[in-house]
Copies of this chain bind each other. A is one copy, B any other.
Amino acid sequence: MADLKEEMKGVKAAVDELILGRLLPASDPVPEVDLLYRMMRDYPSRQAKGMRPFLCVTTCKAVGGSREDALLTAACIELFQHWILIHDDIEDGSELRRGEPALHVKYGVPLALNAGDALHARMWGALSMNGSRLGADRAVRIMQEFSHMVNETTEGQHMELGWIARQRWDLKEPDYFEMCTRKTSWYTVAGPCRLGAIAAGAQEGTLAKLTDFGLKLGVAFQIQDDALNIHGDQKKYGKATCDDILEGKRSLIMLHLMGEAGQGEREKLISIMNKERSAKTPEEVSYVLSLIERHDAVGYARKRAVELMKESLSILGTVQWTGDAEAAALLGQFSRFAVEREW
């Protein structure tokens, strides 16, 4: 049976070769433009798991396509991840990304913002090249799917940023699920799986099931990410631990805690969480962590993640795969990995 991590590594290597070797320009005689190219190649050159390209390629194979049918689209999904992280890091004020300073920390906000736009445009240019292998009609269909995926992501991102800007804490589990489905599930699971399936010419029925599967598993994935942000090993995880507390994120962990905490605790919690990142003291972060511990908020959230993962698995079980059975099995393995991973 294929090994999940080896498979992910293999797809990631192929995608990186495509991105760094063919899709992104390497150098330019004008020194400023050359710097832009180096900035565009910065996040793509850092360590990353490559889950999204893996899901795209593997779903394509499970439906009956080849790895090559999906590879360019998979690379574009990875490019999407790169540019949106550059912009995300600016929006959230994050300082660390994949174990190194965020791009705007290295080069300032104006140049980093523009480099994100430059990567974004390259992504669409690359997608338009799908026509030579898949035909223009399917290439256009993939771009429409891609556009929908990006729309959902920007809407989810806006929901989260809007809650923070408006200091909203009157939020319940369904609000988190709505935000998280848009912000994470589409571009992490549902989009990559659907895109791979479309590259292989899948039927609408299969695509609908992949949506249901992906939206649930995506939320489970995000909950595990939130948990790692609290409890994870920073070295494996690559982002600064407790960043979500500093950034005032409305994670399921925090929303659960708000419901469980006593009135005095909740008031103190809200006043800390509403402060600007730089105004939060280490003592305040410790206080938030102690409340999370006392009310076992991470335990609760992880339980919900496992439930969602199991629901996603049972949906996956109903798909009539028309291609590689081993690839289909890998998707099941990935589901479990999404909520058990430590990185």
Contact = CB atoms under 8 A, between A and B. Distances in A.
Interface of A: 28, 30, 32-33, 35-36, 84, 87, 90-92, 107-111, 113-115, 117-118, 120-122, 124-125, 127-129, 131, 135-137, 139-140, 143-144, 146-148, 150-151, 154-155, 157-159, 161-163, 165, 178
A75 to B, nearest CB: 15
B128 A136 contact: no
Contact of A147 (B92, B107, B122): B122
A36 B158 contact: yes
A115 B178 CA distance: 19
A124 B136 CA distance: 15
A229 to B, nearest CB: 19
Each complex incorporates copies of this chain amounting to 2
Contact of A125 (B107, B131, B148): B148
B154 A117 contact: yes
A110 B91 contact: yes
Given A113-B113, A136-B137, A136-B140, A158 B32 contact: yes
A109 to B, nearest CB: 7
A158 B33 contact: yes
Most buried by B among A129, A147, A163: A147
A96 B247 CA distance: 29
A135 B131 CA distance: 13
6 contacts: A32-B159, A91-B114, A107-B165, A117-B154, A121-B147, A136-B139
A122 to B, nearest CB: 7
Given A131-B140, A147-B122, A110 B154 contact: no
A89 B336 CA distance: 44
Most buried by B among A109, A111, A151, A158: A158
